[in-house]
Amino acid sequence: MNATIAVITFRAMLGRRRALLLLALPLVLLVLSVVLRVTDNNDIDISADVLQRFGLATLLPLLALIAGTGVIGPEIDDGQIMYVLTKPIPRQVIVLTKLAVAIVLVAAFAVVPVLMSGIVLQGTTAGMAPAFTVGVLVGGVAYSAVFVALAVLSRNAVTIGLLYALVWETLLGNFAPGAKSASIQQWALSVVDALTSASPVKSTVDLPVAIALLVAVTAAGTLLAAYRLRSLPVASAE
Amino acid sequence: MTELRLEGVSRWYGNVVAVNGISMTVGPGVTGLLGPNGAGKSTLIHMMGGFLAPSSGTISLDGAPIWQNPDIYRSLGLVPEREAAYDFLTGEQFILAMAKLHKLPDPRAAAQRAIALVEMGYAADRQIGNYSKGMKQRIKMASALVHDPPVLLLDEPFNGMDPRQRLQLMDLIRRMADEGRTILFSSHILEEVERLASHIEVIVAGRHAASGDFRKIRRLMTDRPHIFLVRSSDDRRLAAAVIADGSARSVQLTDKGLTVEAVDFQRFTWLLPQVSRDADVRLWEVSPADESLESVFSYLVAR
């Protein structure tokens, strides 16, 4: 980890208008939860639905996409990464720092809102709020690693990431159960499932398999990003 | 002594060869990398800076390989051509961050020194996003100098600078070189290179076209057949006089005037007014027809 890189990355991510963008979705989730609670529509099925569909399946991948690609993608695109790469710093330190910043952002803008929303909706019933919090956190780590790697590998990281999160995980998952099991979302859901006694939460993947896959994807993403950054061709201005 | 050595360096992108078998040694002092736009100067500098792997050949700094060796950045400073710096930081924050990334023992002092060196102290607490082009260039220079590297690579440092900024930067580069640093900068403008570099490497279409001090390069560039367009009050009589005088190899009479191929640039430009006066012809226009840098360079390549 490198504190200087972390500070610059946080400033780049939270400065300007991007911070507002990061705040929009969690705010919607919180407002929705409060409205459901006030109108007494917060039974366990609806709560689980909101936390799973909105929190885990929408808010989390989108924020992880913004954070994961945002911590390094723009810097590579406009060549600023040169100022970091021309320093005697091992590449894996750069990647790990960027990943850590992405995870902290995901924690702040997805994990904490999901916890708050869970408490607003269900209090401590069935351990649902903490279960979803842990699930979103472990999913967030894996998503961040994948999207950071994607941002180092491709200039079209955001598009590819969106296609993966929306088309593969959400849409295809509805039609093809096989595709559903091969998604970070389902693995994270499996963790949630194991932690809560609430019956509406059902995962298609067994917990040990899910944990193994989450760890594998996180490690693979990090290694790939570090390896690729070692030989990143920085395009010239021409 | 610090020496950057290139041996048989080539770089291609698919079927396109950007840099073709270049070998050279860059030692202390100022070396100018001269070539027209698109000649492969940036590609070459990127390879020297460790941002691009040579497709073949090797580049080393005092024997240590440059590619995939972040440790060389302790002795290498690079000023990229692109303007992008961290716009949201102030100049001082930016340079301080660079000093910290280098893990210098006293980053604050190093940053102060580098900022003073490029005379940016007066704007150090302003955001880089609000800097002018020349100021950005100087703060980029400070970022490359903060760790006091013996080798400095500058990609088109004078691009977009006004004449005063240009002079200041030239002055700074000269001072750096006087301290014994190895400095290489690229440019497509002969005059810039000539005023600053003691040694010039010419790159044309990815090839190493010439190498030497500026007098040698200047001679190579001027001692070639020059073509001039001449309009006068009596083209036909002038054509006869020019041919008789012997300073031109051929003269062609066209409806736009005369196309003269001079044998010797200096002699011709010096003699033409005399010849026309003696022949009692008034000159209306004398313009070089092939003075574009590209034609100069293509002559060098064909040579």
- List pLDDT tens digits, range B241-259: 888 888 788 888 888 888 8
Question: Which pair of structure tokens corresponds to residue B286?
Answer: 């004398």
Interface test with B, best of A16, A86, A97, A227 (most B CBs within 10 A): A86
User: What would the mean pLDDT of B165-181 be, rounded to a whole number?
Assistant: 89
pLDDT of B302: 65
Residue B186 sits in the same domain as residue B246: no
Report, as an integer, the average pLDDT of A60-78: 92
User: What pLDDT is stored for residue B93 in this prediction?
Assistant: 95
Each residue's pLDDT tens digit, B53-72 = 899 999 999 999 998 888 89
Give dist(CA B37, CA B161) in Å, integer.
17
Strand order in the sheet with B56-61: B16-26, B4-13, B56-61, B64-65
Same-domain status, B165 and B46? yes
pLDDT the model gives residue A94: 94
Percent of chain B at pLDDT > 90 equals 38
pLDDT of residue A189: 92
pLDDT of residue A238: 36
Quick check: B70 and A233 CB within 8 A? no
Closest of A174, A164, A129, A172 to residue A143, by C-alpha: A164
Is the model's pLDDT at A237 over the cut of 50?
no
Chain A residues within 8 A (CB-CB) of chain B? 2-5, 7-8, 11-12, 15-16, 78-80, 82-91, 230-234, 236-238
Minimum mean pLDDT range among A141-145, B96-100, B226-230: B226-230
Question: Within this chain, do residues B230 and B209 fall inside the same structural domain, yes or no?
Answer: no
Q: Which of B157, B168, B115 is nearest to B139 (CA)?
A: B115
What pLDDT was estimated at residue B139?
Answer: 92
Residue A118 near residue A128, CB atoms below 8 Å:
yes
If you average pLDDT over residues B75-91, what whole number do you get? 87
Verify whether the Cβ–Cβ distance A80 to B42 is below 8 Å.
no
Whole-number percent of chain A with pLDDT over 90: 60
Contact A238 B53 (CB under 8 A): no
Instruction: Give the mean pLDDT of A126-150.
Output: 94
Task: Note whether residue A52 is domain-resident.
Answer: yes
Whole-number pLDDT of residue B293: 58
* B301 Cβ contact list (under 8 Å, min separation 6): B204, B205, B207, B209
- What is the pLDDT, as a whole number, of residue B58? 93
Q: What percent of chain A has pLDDT over 70?
A: 97
Q: Which residue has the higher pLDDT, B44 or B227?
A: B44
Q: Are strands B151-154 and B76-79 parallel, antiparallel or unpaired?
A: parallel
Rounded Cα gap, residues A101 and A69, in angstroms: 11
pTM summary value: 0.82
Do residue B49 and residue B119 come from a single domain?
A: yes
Mean pLDDT value across residues A25-39: 92
Among B221, B253, B283, residue at a domain's last position: B221
What's residue A116's pLDDT?
94
Question: Higher pLDDT residue, B290 or B287?
Answer: B287
Measured distance CA(B154)–CA(B33) in Å, rounded: 10
Query: Tell me, what's the pLDDT at A31?
Result: 94
Number of domains in chain B: 2
Q: Are B51 and A91 inside 8 Å of each other by CB? A: no
**Residue that is last in its domain, among B205, B221, B237:** B221
* Same domain? B203 vs B232: no
The string of pLDDT tens digits covering residues B186-216 is 998 877 888 898 899 989 888 888 888 877 7
**Inter-chain CB proximity B102 and A87 less than 8 Å:** yes
Instruction: Please count the CA atoms within 13 angstroms of the CA of B276 that sit on its side-chain side.
Output: 20
For the ranges A8-17, A171-180, B223-232, the maximum mean pLDDT occurs at A8-17
Least confident of A85-89, A153-157, A199-203: A199-203
d(CA B53, CA B146): 26
Full residue range of the structural domain in which residue B278 is found? 223-302
Which is more confidently placed, B235 or A16? B235
Res B147 pLDDT > 80: yes
Write the CATH number for B292: 3.30.70.100
Domain presence at residue A236: no
Of A85, A88, A237, the CB nearest to B82: A237
Distance CA B162, CA B137 (A): 12
**ipTM exceeding 0.95, yes/no:** no
Note whether B262 and B193 are same-domain residues: no
Average the pLDDT over B17-38 and give the result.
91
Region A212-238: what's the mean pLDDT?
83
Range of the domain at A90: 3-230
What is the pLDDT of chain A when averaged over all its residues?
Answer: 89
The predicted model gives A57-86 an average pLDDT of: 91
Tell me, yes or no, whether B12 and B138 share the same domain. yes
Same-domain check for residues B212 and B254: no
The tally of domains found in chain A comes to 1
Chain A neighbors of B71, CB-CB under 8 A: 88
Residues B205 and B265 in one domain: no
Query: Residue B37 phi/psi, 5° resolution?
Result: -60, 140
CB burial of residue B15 (10 Å; 0-12, 13-18, 19+): exposed
* B290: confidence class by pLDDT, cuts 50, 70, 90: low
- Same domain flag for B254 and B110: no
Q: What is the pLDDT of residue B215?
A: 75
> Which of B197, B221, B245 corresponds to the end of one domain?
B221
HEC profile of A41-90: CCCHHHHHHHHHHHHHHHHHHHHHHHHHHHCCHHHHHCCCHHHHHCCCCC
What is the band of B303 on the pLDDT scale with cuts at 50, 70, 90?
low
According to the model, what pLDDT value does residue B296 have? 66
Q: What mean pLDDT is predicted for residues B160-175?
A: 86
**What integer is the mean pLDDT of B8-18?**
90
Same-domain status, B229 and B207: no
| B83 compared with A216, residue with greater pLDDT | A216
- Out of A2, A82, A231, the one facing B53 most closely (by C-beta) is A231
CA distance B218 to B103: 44
Sign for the CA dihedral angle at B277, B282, B288, B289 comes to: negative
**Residue A147 placed within a domain:** yes
- On whether residue A238 sits in a domain, the answer given is no
Based on the fold, state whether residues B107 and B133 are members of the same structural domain.
Answer: yes
Asked if the structure places residue A235 within a domain, the reply is no
A124 part of a folded domain: yes
Better pLDDT: A181 or B101: B101
pLDDT given for residue A179 in this prediction: 75
A contact test, residue of B19, B48, B82 with most A CBs within 10 A: B82
Q: Which residue has the higher pLDDT, A145 or B285?
A: A145
Which residues of chain B lie closer than 8 angstroms to A234, CB-CB? 46, 51-52
CATH number reported for the structural domain that contains residue B146 in this entry: 3.40.50.300
pLDDT above 60 (res A236): no
Instruction: Flag whether A237 is in a domain.
Output: no
